Amino acid sequence: MISYARQTHEEQPETVPPPVEEHIAPAPRVSVQAFCETVETAAAVQSAGEDRRLGKAHLKIQMGGMAAAVEAYRSAPTPNVIVLESDGRNDLLGGLDQLATVCDAGTRVVVIGRINDVTLYRELVRRGVSDYVLAPVGAIDVVRSICNLFSAPEAKAVGRIIAVVGAKGGVGASTISHNVAWAIARDLAMDAVVADLDLAFGTAGLDYNQDPPQGIADAVFSPDRVDTAFIDRLLSKCTDHLSLLAAPATLDRVYDFGTDAFDSVFDTLRSTMPCIVLDIPHQWSGWTKRALIGADDILIVAAPDLANLRNTKNLFDLLKAARPNDRPPLYCLNQVGVPKRPEIAAAEFAKAIESQPIVSIPFEPQIFGSAANNGQMIAEISANHKSIEMFLQIAQRLTGRSETKKQKSSLFSPLIDKLRGK
C-alpha cells in the first residue's frame, strides 16, 4: 500500500504563490520518478530537477500519466517518490487503487491535478497520497512539494545556510560575516554556527578570541567519521547562541579539496543548527562554487571600486543563472569613504548590478581595527556604533526574521526583580 506521509498543505490546496522569504530545505538522496501527461508539466519537473535543492535526488521523467505508472511498477520496484499527473477524478482514484496493489511500502506519492476540490483532496489523503498540487505547476511548486515530504513543517527553520563571500580579497567579508552571525545569535536569538572555510588563513578564531584544538579540518579530512556527535565535539562555544567551527589557520599541509568535500559537514550542520554562516574564502574552485550555489541565501561583500563591481556582477549573473528558483544574492558595500580614494557611488553599483546594496558600511579603521586586535565584535567595542544596526539589518534580511522583542519595563520592574532574586 501507499504509505501515509505528513501533510504539508491545508485541507484546501494552496494556490497563492509563496513569499520570497520562504525556506525550502533540500531533499536527501532519494529516487523520484515522474509520470506526466502534458509537456508543460514534464518541462516544469525537468526544471525542478535542476534546482539545487533536488541536487542529490535521482529524477526520471516519463510520459503516460497514471496508466504508465501502474504498468511500469508491475515488474519493477517503486522509487522513494512518485509524481503523477492526472486530468480526471474517476481515472485518478481508480488509478491510485491500482497503483496501491503494485506500490512498495514507504513510497510517497505526489499528485498533480486540475480539480480544485476539497472533497477530492480528502479522498486522496484517505488513499495515502502525500501531497496534491494544483496544475499548472512551475518548477518551484514541484521542488517545494518533494522537499517538504522530508521536512516537518515545524522544523523548517532548521538548517538555513547563509554564505558570505568577498567580491575581491581584502574587502572585509570575514569581518562582516562574523559580526552578522553575532547579530543573528544575540539580537535574533537564533542558535548559529560560523564555519570558517579558509583553512589556511581563516580569522574567525581570532575575531571570536577562540583557539580550539580541533575544527573544520578534522571533519573534512575524516568524512567517514562525520555525524552529529562528531561535529558537536569540534564546535567551540562563543556565546549561548553562537558556536564556531574554526579553521586551523596553519600551513603544515595543503588544503586541496574535491567538489563535494564539505557536503557531509554541511548536511550534518543542517540537521542540528537553525542557522549556519559560511565564511567562504575569496577563491574560485569547485567546492567554493558548490557551497555558494547550495546555500539558502548569499551575501556578497564588495568595496566601491571597479574590480569589485566587475566581480560582483559576474557573481550575480552566475548565481542567478544557477539558482533560478531562489531569490537573487544580496550584496553590501564595505569600506566606503576611504580618504582621497576615488570610489564608485552606490547608485552606479546598483545600476550595473540591477539591485540596490543592502547597506553601505563606512570606512572606520579605528574601531574595526581595535575589534580585530582585541578579538571582539563591534557590538562589544561600542554598543551604540552605527554599523551594529547595519549588521542587524543584514541578519534580518538573510534569515527572514525580525529582531526579538525585549519586554517593556514597568514602574514595578525593580521590585519584581528583587523579589525574584530572593
The overall average pLDDT reported for the chain is 87
Q: What is the pTM of this model?
A: 0.77
Rounded to whole angstroms, the Cα distance separating 295 from 148 reads: 17
Q: Can you give the pLDDT at residue 170?
A: 95
For residues 266 and 92, which has the higher predicted lDDT (pLDDT)? 266
What confidence tier does 75 reach under pLDDT thresholds 50, 70, 90? Answer: confident
Cα angle 155, 294, 263 (rounded to 5 degrees) comes to 85
Q: pLDDT per residue over 174-212, tens digit each?
A: 999 999 999 999 998 888 999 999 999 999 999 999 999
- CA 146/CA 108 separation, integer angstroms: 9
- DSSP class of residue 341 equals -
pLDDT at residue 133 tops 60: yes
pLDDT grade, residue 404 (50/70/90)?
A: low
* Residue of 244, 113, 115 whose CA lies nearest to 191: 244
Q: What is the mean pLDDT of residues 90-106?
A: 83
Q: Does pLDDT of 413 surpass 50? A: no
Stated as kind and residue range, the H or E segment containing 316 is helix 306-322
- Amino acid (1-letter code) at residue 389: E
What b-and-e string marks burial along 397-422, b requiring 16 or more CB atoms within 10 Å of the CB? bbbebeeeeeeeeeeeeeeeeeeeee
What is the per-residue pLDDT for 401? 76
Average pLDDT over residues 92-120: 87
Task: State which amino acid sits at residue 33.
Answer: Q
What is the spatial distance between Cα 204 and Cα 196, in angstroms, rounded to a whole number?
Answer: 6
C-alpha cell read off for 206: 581570532
Mean pLDDT score, 286-311: 97
pLDDT of residue 115: 87
- The answer to whether 13 touches 63, Cβ cutoff 8 Å, is no
- Per the document, the length of the chain is 422
